[in-house]
């Protein structure tokens, strides 16, 4: 999007830095995912922001895996994260891993011990918490705070060698126990974890904490603008303190509001629960707010980037309506998706005055929004399928579709008039009978009939049978994460509707996974990866109109 808009606050900061010659005008950002889950739409915002800032100011962006917690991380996640970023349309300058800096970060810790700024503490987690005091009362510290440099160096080395068990010792910074900022009260720098790491294997049994890994990694890479979410504001003084005490490259941290979206959850921990407890079919379930879920649902990279651009960058937490995301894909697909006919809830329609052995090839425009999209042909015959809801036995006034005595146009074909119908023993309509007006063919209609409604159809003998999956919100409430009790008790039980026998025009048999269409009057659909040679499966990406907004207005 190239429309003029005012600079967001991060762009203002970068422009000022460039104007003042900070770092010689160089801009290097990073995107630092922890490989403990798949990326979601919130990460997309961070990706668009970090890569976007660099692109705008001739800079670069590193992809750095923040892999300092061996227990939850996995290479499956690393691979999916890389694929998702590339799919979104961004290229990183370097692929880096915080774990590659373990030796250097260890040496930084030794440096701080030597300066008397870090010590090994044998206290339990509980004792440490108590020794830190409260926000209104300074901490008293633990008995280990005044260990000598020599003793600390020895103990820290033995921690590394694996002489102690998990939790037996930690390395803490010697901060300020009276600081109003609790993060400055001797924060933990290293903990012991005898766990296998997905990259460093069993080389390490001590791992640096976020606060003693993130800023150090930024600095090692000479990151100029380290952008993170608001909850890290209280960590910023510590971020700066470590960098100052170590005298290393002065990266700077800036914070923006994380993206929250209605009717979903965004924490990887919660998304993992949905996957593990099989509330969804996987990380890429089309109902998930993950990038892979949105991709499978039919979202395009451009629509997600447009969404991130539209919501902008804020300094205060807010909740974005998911219908804005839906608006962005609908707007794009309206311009790009070919129109096709698909009948999701079929009922048979017989045109009694059309020759039973005749088949006509009707011409249909692929996309009226795109003059270059061309046309295709559709077989037409005396037996069709139409949508059950397009026929009413006793239609009310202003029902501009089919009923006994009512006329309607069959899209790209003829005008027909409802004549009668047959029902089964349960009272369900099995066949509708109609007559057609031979002079009413689309493009050459000479009847002068004034017909208000147009409905879609497929020829019964030519239609392909496909599976169609319709999705609704995954949760029944706007903010399931903030409701009382288990967020999973707010899952919408009707979030997936499977139609195993929908009829579509024969051209769709050739559709390939990922291809997108507008099913006339039914919404935008894409071919799912579950499709087989026997059966094509379609996902509804989004409806044509925002049905939720309408319902909300009705109240
Ligand atoms: P979670 O709490 O879901 O695990 P996280 O913040 O721990 O998320 P990371 O992998 O550490 O996930 O995030 C990588 C980057 O993406 C971080 O810079 C983080 O600030 C950013 N990010 C994560 N979630 C959001 C969000 N909802 N909106 C914007 N940025 C986000
Ligand atoms: Mg994190």
Q: Which of 8, 31, 35, 43 to mutate to test the pocket of ligand 1 (most atoms within 8 A of CB)?
A: 43
The CATH code belonging to domain 342-456 is 2.40.240.10
> Does any ligand 1 atom lie closer than 6 A to the CB of residue 229?
yes
What confidence score (pLDDT) does residue 548 get? 55
Protein residue with its CA nearest to atom 27 in ligand 1: 42
What confidence score (pLDDT) does residue 555 get? 41
> Does any ligand 1 atom lie closer than 6 A to the CB of residue 474?
no
- 44 assigned to a ligand binding site: yes
Give the Cβ contact number of residue 395 at 10 Å: 16
> Does any ligand 1 atom lie closer than 6 A to the CB of residue 44?
no
- 150 assigned to a ligand binding site: no
The CATH code belonging to domain 268-338+466-554 is 2.40.240.10
Determine the distance separating the centroid of ligand 2 and the alpha carbon of 505, expressed in angstroms.
Answer: 47
> Does any ligand 1 atom lie closer than 6 A to the CB of residue 33?
yes
> Does any ligand 1 atom lie closer than 6 A to the CB of residue 261?
no
* Dihedral sign from CA coordinates of 407, 346, 491, 474: negative
Protein residue with its CA nearest to atom 7 in ligand 1: 34
Helices (H), 23-74: 41-56
Q: Is the CATH number 1.10.1740.10 carried by domain 9-256?
A: no
- 80 assigned to a ligand binding site: no
Judged on CB neighbours under 10 Å (0-12, 13-18, 19+), 481 is middle
- Token digits for 458? 């497929």
Protein residue with its CA nearest to atom 14 in ligand 1: 33
Residue 258 bears catalytic tag: yes
Per-residue pLDDT of the chain (555 residues; tens, 9 = 90+): 455 789 999 999 999 999 999 999 999 999 999 999 999 999 999 999 999 999 999 999 999 999 999 988 788 999 999 999 999 999 999 999 999 999 999 999 999 999 999 999 999 999 999 999 999 999 999 999 999 999 999 999 999 999 999 999 999 999 999 999 999 999 999 999 999 999 999 999 999 999 999 999 999 999 999 999 999 999 999 999 999 999 999 999 999 999 999 999 999 999 999 999 999 999 999 999 999 999 999 999 999 999 999 999 999 998 999 999 999 999 999 999 999 999 999 999 999 999 999 999 999 999 999 999 999 999 999 999 999 999 999 999 999 999 999 999 999 999 999 999 999 999 999 999 999 999 999 999 999 999 999 999 999 999 999 999 999 999 999 999 999 999 999 999 999 999 999 999 998 988 988 899 999 999 999 999 999 988 999 999 999 987 655 555 544
> Does any ligand 1 atom lie closer than 6 A to the CB of residue 43?
yes
For tokens 């996640």, the residue is 77
Q: Which entry of 82, 199, 258, 348 is annotated as an active-site residue?
A: 258
**Residues whose beta carbons lie less than 5 angstroms from ion ligand 2:** 34
What confidence score (pLDDT) does residue 551 get? 53
Determine the distance separating the centroid of ligand 1 and the alpha carbon of 33, expressed in angstroms.
Answer: 7
Q: Are 207 and 70 in contact (CB under 8 A)?
A: yes
Q: Which of 30, 33, 251, 320 to mutate to test the pocket of ligand 1 (most atoms within 8 A of CB)?
A: 33
Nearest ligand, measured from the Cα of 270: 1
Residue 227 Cα: closest atom of ligand 1: 18
Residue 260 Cα: closest atom of ligand 1: 27
β-strand pairing of 259-261 with 318-320? parallel
> Does any ligand 1 atom lie closer than 6 A to the CB of residue 383?
no
Give the Cβ contact number of residue 69 at 10 Å: 20
Asked whether this chain's domains 268-338+466-554 and 342-456 adopt the same fold, the reply is yes
Cα separation values, 410 from 68, 450, 505, 521, 544, Å = 62, 14, 14, 13, 20
Determine the distance separating the centroid of ligand 2 and the alpha carbon of 33, expressed in angstroms.
Answer: 7
Residue 34 bears catalytic tag: yes
What does pTM read for this prediction? 0.94
Domain ranges of the chain: 9-256, 268-338+466-554, 342-456
- 413 assigned to a ligand binding site: no
Q: Which entry of 11, 34, 127, 483 is annotated as an active-site residue?
A: 34
> Does any ligand 1 atom lie closer than 6 A to the CB of residue 35?
no
Give the Cβ contact number of residue 164 at 10 Å: 18
pLDDT tens per residue, range 92-151: 999 999 999 999 999 999 999 999 999 999 999 999 999 999 999 999 999 999 999 999
> Does any ligand 1 atom lie closer than 6 A to the CB of residue 217?
no
Q: Are 194 and 167 in contact (CB under 8 A)?
A: no
pLDDT tens per residue, range 73-93: 788 999 999 999 999 999 999
Nearest ligand, measured from the Cα of 50: 1
What confidence score (pLDDT) does residue 296 get? 97
- 459 assigned to a ligand binding site: no
Residue 268 bears catalytic tag: yes
Cα separation, 52 vs 222, whole angstroms: 18
> Does any ligand 1 atom lie closer than 6 A to the CB of residue 289?
no
24: which residues sit within 8 A by CB, 6+ positions away? none
Nearest ligand, measured from the Cα of 260: 1
């Amino acid at each position: 999007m190239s429309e003029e808009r005012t600079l967001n606050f991060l762009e203002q900061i970068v422009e000022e830095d460039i104007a003042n010659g900070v770092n010689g005008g160089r801009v290097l950002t990073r995107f630092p995912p922890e490989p403990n889950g798949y990326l979601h739409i919130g990460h997309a915002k961070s990706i668009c922001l970090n890569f976007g800032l660099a692109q705008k100011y001739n800079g670069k962006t590193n992809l750095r895996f923040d892999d300092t917690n061996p227990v939850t991380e996995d290479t499956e996640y690393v691979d999916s994260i890389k694929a998702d970023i590339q799919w979104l349309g961004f290229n990183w300058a370097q692929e880096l891993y915080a774990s590659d800096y373990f030796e250097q970060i260890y040496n930084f810790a030794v440096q701080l011990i030597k300066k008397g700024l870090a010590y090994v503490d044998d206290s339990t987690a509980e004792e440490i918490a108590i020794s830190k005091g409260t926000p209104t009362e300074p901490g008293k510290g633990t008995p280990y705070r005044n260990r000598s440099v020599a003793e600390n160096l020895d103990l820290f080395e033995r921690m590394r060698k694996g002489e102690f068990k998990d939790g037996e010792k930690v390395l803490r910074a010697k901060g300020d126990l009276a600081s109003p900022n609790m993060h400055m009260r001797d924060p933990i720098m290293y903990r012991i974890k005898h766990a296998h790491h997905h990259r460093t294997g069993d080389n390490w049994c001590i791992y640096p904490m976020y606060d003693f890994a993130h800023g150090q990694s930024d600095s090692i890479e000479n990151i100029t603008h380290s952008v993170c979410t608001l909850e890290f504001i209280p960590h910023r003084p510590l971020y700066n303190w470590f960098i100052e005490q170590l005298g290393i490259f002065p990266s700077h941290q800036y914070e923006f509001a994380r993206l929250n979206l209605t009717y979903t959850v965004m924490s990887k921990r919660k998304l993992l629960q949905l996957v593990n407890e099989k509330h969804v079919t996987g990380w890429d379930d089309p109902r998930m707010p993950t990038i892979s879920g949105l991709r499978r649902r039919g979202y395009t990279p451009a629509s997600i980037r447009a969404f991130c651009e539209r919501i902008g960058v804020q300094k205060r937490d807010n909740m974005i309506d998911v219908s804005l995301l839906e608006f962005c894909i609908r707007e794009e697909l309206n311009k790009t998706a070919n129109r096709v006919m698909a009948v999701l809830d079929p009922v048979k329609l017989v045109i009694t005055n059309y020759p039973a052995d005749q088949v006509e090839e009707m011409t249909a425009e692929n996309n009226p929004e795109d003059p270059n999209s061309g046309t295709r042909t559709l077989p037409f015959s005396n037996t069709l399928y139409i949508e059950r809801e397009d026929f009413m036995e006793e239609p009310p006034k202003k029902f501009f579709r089919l009923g006994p005595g009512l006329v309607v146009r069959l899209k790209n074909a003829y005008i027909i008039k409802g004549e009668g119908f047959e029902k089964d023993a349960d009272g369900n309509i099995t066949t509708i009978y109609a007559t057609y007006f031979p002079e009413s063919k689309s493009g050459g209609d000479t009847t002068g009939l004034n017909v208000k409604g147009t409905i879609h159809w497929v020829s019964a003998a030519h239609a392909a049978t496909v599976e169609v999956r319709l999705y609704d919100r995954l949760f029944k409430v706007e903010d399931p994460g903030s409701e009382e009790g288990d967020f999973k008790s707010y899952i919408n039980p009707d979030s997936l509707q499977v139609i195993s026998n929908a009829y579509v025009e024969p051209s769709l048999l050739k559709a390939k996974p990922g291809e997108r269409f507008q099913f006339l009057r039914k919404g935008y659909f894409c071919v799912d990866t579950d499709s087989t040679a026997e059966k094509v499966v379609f996902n509804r990406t989004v409806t044509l109109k925002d049905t939720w907004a309408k319902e909300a207005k009705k109240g």
